[in-house]
């Protein structure tokens, strides 16, 4: 990695979740990257979660895509060779032009990402909708935020989040729906936790089928049956109509109440709702009364609401409850959509979804299409919605879309029915991928690979969940020949003969984006759009470089807008909000027969998306090192699977394998799996292959939270693990997971074939072919155990432990062997014995990743020091003293210790 020419600390923004935390980055003289929170950033006020704190560990050029590459034989998985930019971009431009000429603009598509900066997104949207003339540009935000977009547009007339993060501190009741904020939006969750600590009268209700870490601060947890959110909020809506309606607000500022109440009545009485949702009627009544009797209510929702075939209705059912009480747009109240990616909202601002236009213009409005075409001076503007993500990949497989350009995302892992997406790309005439890494499932199917800039190298803006525009600034030089995404798109556009792509900087693009937001906005008989940042137009390059975080709309220079709709004026033409009828309906596929359980998917605390970034960090690997299936012990018993052993999860769409665990937070009938593992990090854990492809009819968002599955044993004859300084082929393993260590790679593996010749077998596993290699090995044939190690110049190169049972030696002391330049004779004996030469301390599974504090360390500290609260544990062990993400787990350990003592 080259050192930046910028010698000072650079203020930038985190590339992970939609909280949009501020980051201070500094490159040392030795090339080390120092990362700290930016105390001046309003979103995070100096705090970072463990993922943000570990950003420095994820940088570097290992595994990077550093030059354009093309497939020599033009086939997926064919031989890749390095190419010049001219050759690669000519191939892209000529391929797209040929397909358009032969089959029309609907035969090409772009599939982009909330990882792009707003400037990248803007150029991509302009290229497709204004010059190619097709709206076939969709984004992985379709998979997480499109139900919120649809709900906002139906209710408000525009995709707008009314409030800001300060409302969480001003509220008297916070309702978190389908949101494990403690793990998925940690710094915002810590803001809520601090507010509750300072003001105990603040109530928190968590609505989630699982008992997650977020429930740690909950006054009430409603473990609703998966898929029943509309019943719950329709019941609340009816309750509020009789107990807390703001009739003045409703009469003056809304329409459609009667129809919405008629639809909500189908949910039945509160007793009916409690039965449907499988919650205690007394808890339901308590929630309804809390909501009715509390003026300042914030209802925050995320993937548990959005990722559903009734996701848009779930969003509108929540919004209806705020509209009928007039609790919107004022301090401490309102519905609040928490976005999943750093620039999911920025992408929506520029029309990154297939059913939107730039600057919140409407695709189905001829006058706004004409206004956009006039501003761009483009030959055309798409006049009908394009293909949404799931439909796009179906169209590729059917041959209707013949060329696709994928940017900054990994759909062969993240899409539902992911094997269908693989089949689609394998049939596609031209697949182009812009990426920062070479090895992904998607890139294996690409004909052309284009090296893009990554975080720390990119320059532009992102918009977080509270409409706050922040700068991402470069502090590293471009590696290899990597280029900005906007620059690559502009180059292709020019090669296709399109004008309007002469941008030379992100600043120029942002200025055009800002000017467009005010273009014919509320003039010439057009609707006044809420999204308006014309006050940021005309900035100099220096002003753009120094831009501080600012919430839109920004209609005049120096303006910022904390809240919207507080005056009761909404974005529909008549200025009124709409109550949207939300009739309860079941998920698309219900459990039963061969598939008796419901699969729910989501994130874990320390990983992100498909791990192309976080998977590089040893610190982040330690909390949850392997893919898992979390299930109730009674369900496990019925399925014939055991905790700690492997099991197969099968649906109508595919199957995956992972290790069974009993986390204690899941009800019978449901199972949970994380989304992060790909073909590069596990042999068989792409959970997208199992997820059903049903989508919401309004938003097109897939139902990631409700897939019928069955679980059965994954029979193996041995379990093992390897620590190795180099990558290994693992040909002998039936199942494996790759985990990043400090100076090594760790593989957890299992196999079915018994090994007859242990010496030859272990050498094959460790890829050692030199007969004279420094090799130590021991085998217990009766116990089915083998241990082996390969040394080079007295330094451990790799080691292997295999047994018939899953309970193998602790990995920590073995990892310490890789710190040594040369092993002592006693160390060799320890390797053969399978235990440290001196009885050492096993800290147990990592709880606090920031400081590397294990579960056993915390348990002993609690017991020996009679610790009673999380603050005391932090003072004693440092655990929980940085980002606070592990505090819920610390409190669980405290509770377990109290139970044990009692």
Farthest CA pair distance, the chain: 88
Beta bridge partners of 802: 720, 786
**Residue 107 main-chain phi, psi, to 5 deg:** -90, 0
- Secondary structure class of 801 (helix, strand, coil): strand
Cβ-based burial of 594 (10 A; exposed 0-12, middle 13-18, buried ≥19)? exposed
As a whole number, mean pLDDT of residues 498-509 equals 97
Question: For residue range 193-237, what is the model confidence (pLDDT) as tens digits?
Answer: 999 999 999 999 999 999 999 999 999 999 999 999 999 999 999
Would you state the structure tokens that stand for residue 14, as one six-digit string? 């985190």
Contact 450, 464 (CB under 8 A): no
At residue 526, the pLDDT reads 81
Contact 110, 405 (CB under 8 A): yes
Closest C-alpha among 149, 114, 467 to residue 315: 149
At residue 362, the pLDDT reads 95
CA–CA dist 40, 22 (Å, integer): 8
As a whole number, mean pLDDT of residues 693-697 equals 97
At residue 792, the pLDDT reads 93
CA–CA dist 538, 825 (Å, integer): 71
As a whole number, mean pLDDT of residues 249-257 equals 98
Confidence label for 4 from pLDDT (cuts 50, 70 and 90): very low
CA–CA dist 272, 614 (Å, integer): 44
Q: Is the pLDDT of residue 7 over 80?
A: no
Q: State the residue for tokens 């793990």.
A: 183
At residue 76, the pLDDT reads 65
As a whole number, mean pLDDT of residues 94-108 equals 98
Would you state the structure tokens that stand for residue 611, as one six-digit string? 């791990």
Question: For residue range 335-371, what is the model confidence (pLDDT) as tens digits?
Answer: 999 998 999 999 999 999 999 999 999 999 999 999 9
User: Strands 577-578 and 646-650, how do they pair?
Assistant: unpaired
User: Strands 655-661 and 646-650, how do they pair?
Assistant: antiparallel
CA–CA dist 70, 428 (Å, integer): 15
Question: For residue range 572-599, what is the model confidence (pLDDT) as tens digits?
Answer: 999 999 999 999 999 999 999 999 999 9
Among 3.30.470.30, 1.10.760.10, 3.60.15.10, 3.40.228.10, name the CATH number for the domain at 146-337: 3.40.228.10
Beta bridge partners of 657: 648
Would you state the structure tokens that stand for residue 401, as one six-digit string? 């879309």
The span from the first CA to the last CA of the chain, in angstroms, equals 56
Would you state the structure tokens that stand for residue 709, as one six-digit string? 């599955």
Q: Is the pLDDT of residue 3 over 50?
A: no
Q: Is the pLDDT of residue 258 over 70?
A: yes
As a whole number, mean pLDDT of residues 728-743 equals 90
At residue 735, the pLDDT reads 95
Q: Is the pLDDT of residue 387 over 50?
A: yes
For residue 120, give Cα distances in angstroms to 482, 508, 538, 890.
Answer: 14, 12, 19, 41
Among 1.20.200.10, 2.60.120.10, 2.40.40.20, 2.160.10.10, name the CATH number for the domain at 597-713: 2.40.40.20
Q: Is the pLDDT of residue 107 over 90?
A: yes
Full-model pTM: 0.95
Contact 321, 233 (CB under 8 A): yes
Q: Is the pLDDT of residue 754 over 80?
A: no
At residue 515, the pLDDT reads 98
Q: Where are the alpha helices (DSSP H) in 309-453?
A: 311-325, 344-349, 366-376, 389-397, 411-414, 418-427
**Residues contacting residue 844 through CB under 8 Å, at least 6 positions apart:** 854, 855, 856, 857, 859
Question: For residue range 127-168, what is the model confidence (pLDDT) as tens digits?
Answer: 999 999 999 999 999 999 999 999 999 999 999 999 999 999
As a whole number, mean pLDDT of residues 602-606 equals 94
The answer to which of 339-353, 383-397, 824-838 has the lowest mean pLDDT is 824-838
Contact 157, 572 (CB under 8 A): yes
Q: Is the pLDDT of residue 43 over 50?
A: yes
DSSP secondary structure string, 287-321?
HHHHHHH-SSEEEEE-HHHHSSTTHHHHHHHHHHH
User: Strands 745-751 and 448-451, how do they pair?
Assistant: unpaired
CA–CA dist 819, 29 (Å, integer): 24
Contact 485, 453 (CB under 8 A): yes
Q: 667-681 as b/e, with b when 16 or more CB fall inside 10 Å?
A: bebbbbbbbbbbbbb
Closest C-alpha among 128, 113, 64, 88 to residue 447: 88
Confidence label for 616 from pLDDT (cuts 50, 70 and 90): very high
CA–CA dist 324, 246 (Å, integer): 6
DSSP secondary structure string, 15-75?
SSSTT--EEEEEE-TTSPEEEEE-TT-TTTTT---HHHHTGGGG-SSTTB--S-EEETTSS
Residue 805 has a CB neighbour count (10 Å cut-off) of 12
Q: 55-65 as b/e, with b when 16 or more CB fall inside 10 Å?
A: bbbbbeeeebb
Would you state the structure tokens that stand for residue 15, as one six-digit string? 């590339």
According to CATH, where is 1.10.10.1100 located in the chain? 846-901
CA–CA dist 403, 399 (Å, integer): 9
Using the Cα atoms of residue 237, residue 238, residue 243 and residue 248 in order, give the sign of their dihedral. Answer: positive
Q: Containing H/E element for 271?
A: helix 270-277
**Residues contacting residue 96 through CB under 8 Å, at least 6 positions apart:** 108, 132, 403, 405, 430, 492, 496
Q: State the residue for tokens 């502090």.
A: 475
- Secondary structure class of 466 (helix, strand, coil): coil
What share of the chain has pLDDT > 90, as a percent? 82
According to CATH, where is 2.40.40.20 located in the chain? 597-713
CA–CA dist 462, 529 (Å, integer): 20
Contact 590, 570 (CB under 8 A): no
Question: For residue range 434-475, what is the model confidence (pLDDT) as tens digits?
Answer: 999 999 999 999 999 999 999 999 999 999 999 999 999 999
Cβ-based burial of 335 (10 A; exposed 0-12, middle 13-18, buried ≥19)? buried
Beta sheet of 774-780, edge-to-edge order? 735-740, 745-751, 718-724, 795-803, 785-792, 774-780
Contact 352, 137 (CB under 8 A): yes
Contact 377, 500 (CB under 8 A): yes
Cis peptide bond N-terminal to 553, omega within 30: yes
What is the CATH architecture of 69-145+343-551?
3-Layer(aba) Sandwich (3.40)
As a whole number, mean pLDDT of residues 513-522 equals 96
Confidence label for 46 from pLDDT (cuts 50, 70 and 90): very high
Q: Is the pLDDT of residue 2 over 50?
A: no
Q: State the residue for tokens 């007039």.
A: 326
CA–CA dist 303, 97 (Å, integer): 38
Contact 630, 600 (CB under 8 A): no
As a whole number, mean pLDDT of residues 697-705 equals 97
CA–CA dist 846, 636 (Å, integer): 25
Confidence label for 1 from pLDDT (cuts 50, 70 and 90): very low
For residue 755, give Cα distances in angstroms to 40, 707, 752, 808.
Answer: 60, 38, 9, 18
Would you state the structure tokens that stand for residue 754, as one six-digit string? 């018994």
Q: Where are the alpha helices (DSSP H) in 308-365?
A: 311-325, 344-349
Would you state the structure tokens that stand for residue 860, as one six-digit string? 């002993």
Contact 577, 153 (CB under 8 A): no
CA–CA dist 627, 690 (Å, integer): 14
772 vs 184, residue with greater confidence? 184
Beta sheet of 173-177, edge-to-edge order? 220-222, 203-207, 173-177, 297-301, 334-337
DSSP 8-state secondary structure symbol assigned to residue 365: -
The mean predicted confidence, pLDDT, of the chain is 94
CA–CA dist 658, 31 (Å, integer): 38
Question: For residue range 523-547, what is the model confidence (pLDDT) as tens digits?
Answer: 887 889 999 999 999 999 999 999 9
- Secondary structure class of 659 (helix, strand, coil): strand
Beta bridge partners of 578: 255
For residue 570, give Cα distances in angstroms to 155, 315, 465, 578, 803.
Answer: 9, 17, 19, 9, 65
Name which CATH class applies to 846-901: mainly alpha
């Amino acid at each position: 990695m080259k050192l930046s020419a910028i010698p000072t600390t650079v203020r930038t923004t985190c590339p992970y979740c939609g909280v949009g935390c501020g980051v201070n980055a500094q490159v040392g003289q030795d090339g080390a990257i120092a990362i700290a929170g930016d105390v001046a950033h309003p979103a995070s006020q100096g705090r970072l979660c463990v993922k943000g704190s570990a950003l420095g560990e994820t940088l570097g050029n290992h595994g990077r895509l550093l030059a354009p590459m093309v497939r020599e034989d033009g086939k997926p998985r064919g031989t890749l060779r390095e190419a010049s930019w001219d050759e690669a971009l000519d191939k892209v431009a000529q391929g797209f032009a040929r397909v358009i000429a032969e089959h029309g603009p609907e035969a090409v598509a772009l599939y982009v990402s909330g990882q792009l900066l707003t400037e990248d997104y803007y150029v991509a949207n302009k290229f497709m909708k204004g010059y190619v003339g097709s709206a076939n540009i969709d984004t992985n935000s379709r998979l997480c935020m499109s139900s919120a977009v649809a709900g906002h547009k139906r209710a408000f007339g525009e995709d707008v989040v009314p409030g800001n993060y300060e409302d969480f501190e001003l509220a008297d009741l916070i309702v978190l729906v389908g949101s494990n904020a403690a793990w998925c939006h940690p710094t915002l969750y810590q803001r809520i936790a601090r507010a509750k600590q300072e003001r105990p009268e603040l109530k928190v209700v968590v609505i989630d089928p699982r008992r997650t870490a977020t429930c740690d601060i909950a006054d009430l947890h409603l473990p609703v049956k998966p898929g029943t959110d509309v019943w719950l909020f329709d019941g609340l809506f009816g309750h509020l109509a009789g107990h807390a309606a703001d009739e003045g607000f409703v009469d003056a500022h809304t329409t459609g109440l009667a129809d919405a109440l008629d639809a909500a009545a189908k949910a039945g009485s509160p007793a009916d709702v409690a039965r449907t949702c499988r919650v205690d009627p007394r808890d339901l009544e308590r929630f309804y009364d809390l909501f009715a009797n509390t003026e300042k209510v914030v209802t925050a929702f995320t993937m548990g609401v959005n990722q559903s075939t009734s996701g848009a209705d779930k969003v509108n059912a929540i919004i209806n409850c705020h509209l009928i009480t007039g609790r919107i747009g004022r301090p401490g109240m309102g519905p609040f959509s928490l976005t999943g990616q750093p620039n999911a909202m920025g992408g929506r601002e520029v029309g990154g979804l297939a059913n939107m236009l730039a600057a919140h213009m409407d695709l189905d409005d001829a006058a706004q299409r004409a206004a956009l075409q006039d501003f761009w001076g483009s030959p055309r503007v798409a006049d009908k919605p394009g293909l949404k993500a799931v439909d796009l990949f179906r169209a590729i497989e059917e041959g209707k879309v013949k060329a696709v350009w994928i940017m900054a995302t990994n759909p062969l892992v993240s899409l539902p029915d992911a094997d269908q997406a693989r089949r689609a790309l394998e049939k596609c005439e031209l697949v182009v991928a812009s990426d920062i890494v070479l090895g992904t499932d998607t890139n294996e199917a690409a004909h052309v690979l284009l090296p893009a800039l990554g975080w720390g190298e990119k320059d532009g803006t992102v918009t977080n969940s509270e409409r706050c525009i922040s700068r991402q600034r470069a502090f590293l030089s471009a590696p290899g020949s990597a280029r900005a995404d906007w620059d690559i798109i502009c180059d292709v556009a020019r090669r296709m003969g399109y004008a309007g792509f002469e941008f030379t900087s992100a600043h120029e693009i942002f200025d055009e984006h800002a000017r467009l937001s005010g273009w014919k906005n509320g003039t010439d008989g057009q609707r006044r759009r809420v999204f308006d940042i014309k006050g940021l137009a005309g900035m100099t390059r220096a002003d753009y470089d120094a831009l501080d975080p600012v919430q839109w709309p920004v209609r005049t220079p120096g303006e910022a807008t904390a809240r919207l709709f507080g005056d009761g004026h909404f974005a529909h033409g008549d200025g009124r909000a709409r109550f949207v009828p939300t009739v309860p309906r079941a998920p698309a596929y219900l459990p039963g027969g061969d598939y008796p359980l419901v699969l729910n998917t989501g994130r874990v605390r320390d990983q992100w998306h498909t791990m192309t970034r976080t998977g590089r960090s040893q610190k982040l690997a330690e909390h949850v090192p392997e893919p898992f299936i979390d299930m109730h012990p009674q369900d496990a018993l019925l399925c014939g699977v055991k905790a700690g052993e492997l099991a197969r999860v099968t649906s109508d769409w595919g199957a995956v394998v992972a290790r069974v665990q009993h986390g204690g937070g899941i009800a019978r009938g449901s199972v949970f799996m994380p989304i992060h593992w790909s073909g590069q990090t596990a042999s068989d854990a792409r959970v997208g292959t199992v997820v059903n492809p049903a989508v919401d009819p309004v938003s097109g968002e897939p139902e990631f939270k409700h897939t019928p599955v069955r679980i059965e044993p994954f029979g193996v004859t041995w379990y093992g693990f390897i620590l190795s300084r180099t990558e290994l082929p693992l040909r002998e393993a039936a199942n494996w997971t790759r985990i990043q260590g400090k100076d090594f790679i760790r593989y957890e593996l299992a196999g079915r074939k018994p090994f007859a010749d242990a010496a030859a077998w272990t050498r094959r596993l460790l890829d050692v072919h030199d007969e004279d290699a420094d090799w130590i090995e021991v085998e217990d044939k009766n116990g089915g155990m083998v241990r082996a190690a390969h040394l080079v110049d007295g330094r451990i190169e790799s080691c292997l432990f295999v047994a018939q049972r899953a309970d193998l030696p602790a990995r920590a002391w073995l990892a310490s062997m890789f710190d040594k330049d040369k092993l002592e004779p006693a160390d060799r004996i320890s390797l053969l014995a399978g235990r440290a030469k001196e009885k050492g301390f096993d800290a147990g599974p990592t709880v606090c990743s920031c400081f590397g504090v294990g579960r056993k360390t915390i348990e002993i500290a609690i017991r020996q020091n009679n610790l009673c609260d999380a603050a005391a544990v932090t003072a004693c062990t440092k655990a929980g003293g940085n980002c606070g993400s592990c505090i819920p787990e610390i409190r669980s350990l405290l509770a377990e210790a109290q139970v044990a003592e009692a």
